[in-house]
Structure 1
């Protein structure tokens, strides 16, 4: 199969009505924080146990088209002894991989950050592909204040995202491009819209400069929301602001936009996605790529015990199915009580 055929096939498998992507790519410090919240000490075996449980949940492939894995998980076996990529493949779920190496302060730019990991990425991508990964993810973050993000931070991170995406496509791996505008702060939804528009516009300018094929990539952006300490916004307000920005700056050639949850509660992330899709047909499939907003209930149900396997899987499937309904605009708040 040619590289172009591989890219096209992966996009077709990932971008499907009623389905989204699970982000299970938490770094060791992040997953340790999540586990601590449910009274579990993070270890390689506990991480394998939990992730194996949710990824083997019967019927997960009905709402989940792909899973972003952490490097450790890509090389692990499930509780049944199957390589994780094979476990996912049996449910028609595409295995993916987080390839960035985390963020650090951006030199000469107080309060801003840059993501590292481009060095040696081409060789790592070949290795991940050999292990079964068909798509990848790279995250850059943008802080909001009255003066941030600066042009320096926007352009540096956009360039990094574009170089990563070009490297992915060169080896037949679909890139998920994630420019996260952080929810931290007390900014208004109008300020969020302003920043999102400038950031995403810069990202696509860089992608075009590096000749990234827009038809075989996925955008993973923030929804346009106020800061978590700012004024509240209804799902309808979030939806209208988000679509207004995207229609200005996201090319129609992009097949899918899979939102990150970015600090929203599971219920908020689902309601907002539903409101976005209820605005009517758009040039792109609008779906989810959630981490905590899909997993928080299942982690609470698991609480570190394999004896809670059924409850863990049921909690995960409930959120996956609710978000699958939101992807088609068919979610209703009362479904929180009768699903699962």
Structure 2
């Protein structure tokens, strides 16, 4: 593990940018960016366009380690270059931003009120490539759609099982059991989730640490015991469909949590903007998310 990167993630002021839209969510991300689906005719062209968007974000003057601690990358982004350098190297050496990698392969169909992660048969090979590429940690997402104790128990067990494999490669896993923001029993689901996470964290060996990426809770500071847990390097929050203003407002009320926003980060960016307008928009976005991240 890179000690300078670990120090930055553990103690740094700022947030983690999520630039990891996958094949399923890329068309929507491009549409919000002003690129219609008739602008590309196949996946290769689509991924070229989204890489251009990510590169433009990463090269914006405000996108640097002063306020952006880390960036979560999609596998294809890890394998590509920015400004003639491998992306993870560019992020760290040029921007001072710690690189993470999304490793999950998407979600299974809903069962017991949750969506588990699909199998990852090539996970160990991917993790070995990530280590070689200079990646610091990983991210993997499950979804909780109901306050279902058996479902939430299964989601957290799967996350930690995969997390232990990631730790074995010397990488720090970001465990992400997302609670859907629109469900009626969101607060109850969060109570169950907290108990399950604490039980698994308590069972980790002393020398190991994970990160957690969680939906902003209904009750402010519900997750403070996780923030303070010795096995937790950092607790980050996903925006989950909240507008940037609401996500920032909720985040500022949760002590010790920092942002890891995707859609809320890129809100207002457009392919048609001049570089001046684009850079000003991303700078304002970074500033507001940074302020909410350090407010707690």
- Give the TM-score normalised by structure 2: 0.87
The answer to whether the 8 Å contact 2:251/2:259 transfers is: yes
> What's the CA shift for 1:168?
1.4
* Of 211, 214, 217, the match for 1:218: 211
> What's the CA shift for 1:38?
4.1
The answer to whether the 8 Å contact 1:223/1:259 transfers is: yes
> What's the CA shift for 1:247?
3.9
Residue 135 (structure 2) pairs with residue 133 (structure 1) = yes
The answer to whether the 8 Å contact 2:91/2:97 transfers is: yes
Larger Cα Rg: Structure 1 or Structure 2? 1
Q: Which residue of structure 2 aligns with residue 296 of structure 1?
A: 267
- Once the two structures are superposed, residues 180-201 of structure 1 have per-residue CA deviations (whole angstroms, 9 ceiling, x without a partner) of 111123x2xxx43321121132
Q: Which residue of structure 1 aligns with residue 196 of structure 2?
A: 202
> What's the CA shift for 1:156?
1.5
Q: Which residue of structure 2 aligns with residue 246 of structure 1?
A: 223
Q: For 1:1-340, what aligned pairs fall within 5 Å after superposition?
A: 6=1, 9-40=4-35, 41=37, 43-61=46-64, 62-78=66-82, 80-89=83-92, 90-106=94-110, 109=111, 111-144=113-146, 149-185=147-183, 187=184, 191-209=185-203, 211=204, 216-225=209-218, 241-243=219-221, 245-247=222-224, 252-253=229-230, 254-277=232-255, 285-298=256-269, 302-303=270-271, 305=272, 308-329=274-295
- Within 2, Cα distance between the matches of 1:31 and 1:197? 32
The answer to whether the 8 Å contact 2:108/2:118 transfers is: yes
- Within 2, Cα distance between the matches of 1:326 and 1:97? 24
- Within 2, Cα distance between the matches of 1:50 and 1:215? 35
Specify every segment of 5 or more residues in structure 2 that has no aligned partner in the other structure, as ranges. Answer: 41-45
> What's the CA shift for 1:203?
2.8
Question: Any idea what SS the aligned residue of 1:52 has?
Answer: helix
Q: 1:276 to 1:152 in 2, by over 3 A?
A: closer
Question: Any idea what SS the aligned residue of 1:176 has?
Answer: strand
Question: Any idea what SS the aligned residue of 1:219 has?
Answer: strand
- Within 2, Cα distance between the matches of 1:19 and 1:215? 23
Question: Any idea what SS the aligned residue of 1:133 has?
Answer: coil
Q: 1:83 to 1:102 in 2, by over 3 A?
A: same
- Give the TM-score normalised by structure 1: 0.77
> What's the CA shift for 1:82?
2.2
> What's the CA shift for 1:202?
1.1
RMSD (CA atoms): 2.3
Specify every segment of 5 or more residues in structure 1 that has no aligned partner in the other structure, as ranges. Answer: 1-5, 226-240, 278-284, 331-340
> What's the CA shift for 1:24?
0.7
Question: Any idea what SS the aligned residue of 1:105 has?
Answer: coil
The answer to whether the 8 Å contact 1:100/1:115 transfers is: yes
- Once the two structures are superposed, residues 183-242 of structure 1 have per-residue CA deviations (whole angstroms, 9 ceiling, x without a partner) of 123x2xxx4332112113213323444x355862211111113xxxxxxxxxxxxxxx13
Q: 1:56 to 1:38 in 2, by over 3 A?
A: closer
- Within 1, Cα distance between the matches of 2:118 and 2:205? 20
- Within 1, Cα distance between the matches of 2:12 and 2:226? 23
